[in-house]
Chains A and B, each alone.
Chain A
């Protein structure tokens, strides 16, 4: 049985110019021990669909789906209280900006122990022991002392490690990583990806990797979903996606990689891929349509 199952997910936002459809009929499954990458450009709805799973969208969003279950539990009708018990414990998420997603007013130790207090009902000494253990697991040197530090005293890579420690604190079954390395240097990115993949293999988590970096996809994923403007363009295992992409959009995306450049100009996606959909579906974006879209 799949860990997370989504069928025909639609997310719409109420805007001044009517409903804007950010996610348009996306279906996907994540199994245990599987790494699924969701790839797309900004505005492709990749983050929004995962926020819908987490129930973190603002009230202006309207979420509908034929099916959205986690471990057999329905996530559409779940009460807020039940959802709070699930989120952070069985499903955890890592956000893009590590420095911005930690609370600057509390020590990182407080923030990691908060999760343990709420979900695991551990006493004070056990919480501290577990926090030190987690910091060791994510490779933070001198963990006992580091617990007393505030986020601004740590580097971006260290903050992302703290975020990962918080996310895996309760041994989640599913970890959603939303662009976990976009804000980091390549060398740090490599360390964080290695860490995530190591933890994933060790704990047998399902991992959803949201990214726009094809290199990260190639280095981590088992299976890949490609999204464009709220729709799923293609789903394939990682090797066949890179070897023989089916959809024109994926082909265009791969051709635009500077790695694959052959001539002295890069092919651009607009040259290679024409959006054949009717315009009114999702181009009624927040900004007025511009005459020369990029």
Chain B
């Protein structure tokens, strides 16, 4: 039995029009050129690509921050077009995002308790006491403690801040979470903890993840499906094991070749090559 599809994109295109100035004529940048994808409930789709390939643009479209120029975006089976009729709180609730840099995405003047309660303040009519209660519960869920409730972001380490950002995203009980390079700013040991937390939360809440990354070892660990983007096109899309075992497109192959491998065999091979060269 297959799970219901939470997110579906059909031929999504996004162009940016850059108006001409005194010295340049107007031009159009095709950031995303017709991308198709679908993600089942409780699964993880990883989007891989280098900077400028359109993966963050796609994340903005999925998160309903920017509209797509053309194409259909379906969330929980309903077609959503934010250019017409705007965005309801219900749509906003369903999709949340965690940004790359936990140092930049938290307001330095806001206490953690307020950071977590704010989505409820904006999107619901909940009384303050209940908002705080829920914020406190979520704080514990992501591995922090009650005493952290009244602290400011600067008092936390990078890994703790990323936990807070994840907690904030989960406050509205979303069905889809977009993770824009959530661990690339973190140390290896902290990265492992945050990845574990994401896996725990996915199991508990049946969350669907869109995981954007350029670190293939992380993608291989966390993803169910992988989409490789290159200059706005999805050059490779399929189940993780298939993509990793048998990459089709030349760019995917070069991406795999460029990823440093930390295995004993690869070190032996390199040392042998070096000996031959010397």
Contact = CB atoms under 8 A, between A and B. Distances in A.
Interface of A: 41-42, 156, 185-190, 193, 201, 212-219, 238-239, 242-243, 252-254, 256-261, 264-270, 287-288, 290-294
Contacts of A217: 262
A287 to B, nearest CB: 6
Q: Most B CB atoms within 10 A — which of A42, A259, A288? A: A259
B263 A242 contact: yes
B255 A187 contact: yes
Contacts of B220: 258-259
A214 B259 contact: no
Among all A-B residue pairs, the 5 with the closest Cβ atoms:
A215-B260, A269-B189, A190-B258, A258-B221, A294-B159
B159 A259 contact: no
Contact of B155 (A266, A287, A294): A287
B160 A294 contact: yes
A172 B237 CA distance: 46
B160 A259 contact: no
Question: Which of B148, B189, B191 has the most CB atoms of chain A within a 10 A radius of its CB?
Answer: B189
11 contacts: A188-B50, A189-B258, A219-B261, A256-B188, A258-B221, A265-B199, A266-B192, A266-B221, A270-B189, A290-B160, A292-B148
Contacts of A288: 155
Nearest to B156: A290
B122 interface: no
Interface in B43-97: 50-51
Given A242-B267, A266-B196, A290-B148, 13 more contacts: A187-B255, A190-B260, A218-B260, A219-B270, A238-B271, A242-B264, A257-B188, A257-B217, A259-B220, A261-B221, A287-B154, A291-B147, A292-B148
A257 B262 contact: yes
A42 B190 CA distance: 11
B214 A186 contact: yes
Contact of B217 (A41, A188, A259, A294): A259
B17 interface: no
Given A215-B260, A242-B264, A268 B189 contact: yes
A216 B260 contact: yes
B260 A213 contact: yes
A286 to B, nearest CB: 11
B150 interface: no
Contact of B189 (A41, A239, A287, A292): A41
Contact of A215 (B190, B193, B262): B262
Contact of B258 (A186, A239, A253): A186
Contacts of B217: 215, 257-259
A259 B258 CA distance: 15
Contacts of A293: 157
Nearest to A35: B274
A262 B190 CA distance: 18
B187 interface: yes
A238 B156 CA distance: 34
Given A189-B258, A218-B262, A239-B271, A256 B157 contact: no
Given A186-B216, A219-B270, A290 B157 contact: yes
A294 B190 contact: yes
A239 B262 CA distance: 10
A238 B277 contact: no
Contacts of A269: 188-189, 192
